[in-house]
Amino acid sequence: MESIFGEPPAGFSSSTSQESHFISTGSGESHQGLSHVDSSGQARMVDVSSKEDSKRVAVASCKVLLGQKAFHLVASNQVAKGDVLNVAKIAGINGAKHTSSLIPLCHNISLTHIRVDLALNEKDFSVEIEGEAATTGKTGVEMEAMTAVAVAGLTVYDMCKAASKDISITEIHLEHKTGGKSGDWSRKQ
């Protein structure tokens, strides 16, 4: 692992056998949690060729805390750069389509659907963003859904930064996913 990340983190002994952290299948694959790391600790792209195609859907969300001034500018469509919510929606869709270019070990996926919704929340002066990605294929779309909301959130920040530098992009996470070998998962279980 040191060959990838440099010095081990505090409390991690480099003399510990890698076999205690990685279970090798003999084919160079690792199956104890980190599928993108082989038995020698090297990064790798997972081979999905033997997987069956299945319908896969993932929904992610995030929140952009604008503050009162920027919030009111967005709500009244008075931001100098233009319509923040619509530009961020298109940016999020575009981000999902480019996930494999941004995240090095993600597979290039043929997406069948992308949805990005943005809603203003006056209670905390925020923009709530939800993104959904879908495909029928051999690997999931969780990263595409999370990239969609992250890029949409970054776009909101970019368009509002002249009004306030104190904007925070928070709570980026997967809400739920369906399909694939691991089956369905939901944060609200």
Cite the active site residues: 158
Q: How many CB atoms lie within 10 A of CB 51?
A: 13
- Tell me the C-alpha distance between 33 and 37, whole Å: 9
| Inter-residue contact 67 to 125 (CB < 8 Å) | yes
- Tell me the C-alpha distance between 98 and 113, whole Å: 14
Which run of H or E residues covers position 118? strand 113-121
For residue 78, what are its two tokens?
A: 């008075």
- Tell me the C-alpha distance between 104 and 93, whole Å: 19
The whole-angstrom distance between residue 12's C-alpha and the CA centroid of its chain comes to: 28
Which residue, chain included where needed, has tokens 């943005």?
118
